[in-house]
Structure 1
Amino acid sequence: MNAGQERDQRLLDPEAHLLIVEDDGEMRTLVARLLREAGFRVSTARDGREMFEVMAEATAPPDLVVLDVMLPGASGFDLCRRLRAQSQVPIIMLTARADETDRVVGLEIGADDYVSKPFAPREFVARVRAVLRRTMNDPGHSVAAARRLRFAGWSLDLKARELTSPCGVIVDLSGAEHDLLLAFLEHPQRVLSREQLMEVAKRRMSLDTSDRAVDVQVSRLRRKIEPDEASPAIIKTVRGSGYVFVPPVTRE
């Protein structure tokens, strides 16, 4: 593991919340223990109903879902389609079936990876970390290819670097505010720690990289995109963890 990967692992492990959806109690316990020992926070569910209950009750959406294919009720494929239709949460399919067709189907409907049982514990943890690295720390390729990002009636033109309000008014952003907003838009509905936001700041070279500086810039950005105190929060503070960008983001 090189220095960059070690840094990513330090950033991810204490913060990442994983949801395991597995109906087999022994396997569910095994996977949960394996991931907890690797430093992740873990929640579990036995089927799709429990999965959505856990997600509804959580402070923020999970950072990754480990989803068994063969589940009672809705199958893992069905649940993957439903999850992908409403969010970009990373999904790893887990199944005892090694059929190539199943792997292809899982990937085509939006899964980020597909792991067959039985699996090597170290390889499985490495795959989880690899998916998290791609989705949490690196700018998403779909964002990079987009021209415009939309959220809660707002629109950010990536080429012109212009933010337009739901009323059609262009709102001025400083370079640091723009970069911070883009970091949130790249990872919506996912908890970002101050350390992760500082890593974004270091890459973009627009933001003083300290905890206090991040908090100040978040406060300034909030005042611009949440002008009405009675309106729903767009950036939510997760006590002890960081911040989460609440609304879904669409790309054009």
Structure 2
Amino acid sequence: MQVGLEGRVALVTGGGRGIGAATARLLAEAGARVVVAARSADEIEAVAQEIRRTGASAEAAVCDVSDPEAVARLRATAEARFGAVDILVANAGIASSAPLSRVELAEWNRLFAVNATGPFLCAQAFVPGMVARRWGRILHIASIAGRTGAPYIAAYASTKHALVGLTRSLAAELADKGITVNALCPGYVDTPMTDHSVDRIVARAGVTAETAREKLVAANPQRRLITAEEVAFLVVMLCDERARGVNGQTLGIDGGGFLG
């Protein structure tokens, strides 16, 4: 079965590496013209060039999704290059961990600005065009932390629960307008963000990096880290016209780590 996205324009935030880069590549492979957005110009340009070398169309656009003016510029760049955006993958995210007593308000606000306000601003920017065309796909890359909780991640988990709430509310609001909105909730993925999680465990617990990584692997009943390509695959599948009945869902990609 092939997913055909020819003629569609996709935008991926946090597209310079990890899940975002894998998603940009797979959307392009399915035929979409892709705007790769993130704060790192070098990373997104490398991804865009890789896509263009395959003969597909891609544009790199620097953007801090927590900045309303930057998101407005992102929309202008995308529309000037490829036209109106049909597919929005809100993947940009940051993480940190600390006991509640050590979570500074500034850090709480920093995580919410990127992980929750960013997708909200992107939705405000791109949903009107989708409504006008009566077709759109919005994919929020959340986390297993958006379906449950764990020690030391009160701030991070709260941002992902907020993102799930945004997903469900937008799905209900836009269901009769040809737009679907879903959240993907991966477990630990083999990406630089998980590498940072390993570093934090090493620093906090005084264990080796190998032991720390084994702890994360053990959270998946399949005893492995999820790959970025697995998440990207589900994103692309949900963009297909045959997936239009899937709306307002939080879809786990965690090997069965959360059953509910």
**Fold equivalence (TM over 0.5):** no
Flag the structure with more relative contact order, 1 or 2, with Cα contacts below 8 A and sequence separation at least 6.
Answer: 2
Where is the helix percentage greater, Structure 1 or Structure 2?
2
For the pair shown, the structure with the greater C-alpha radius of gyration is: 1
- TM-score, with structure 1 as normaliser: 0.32
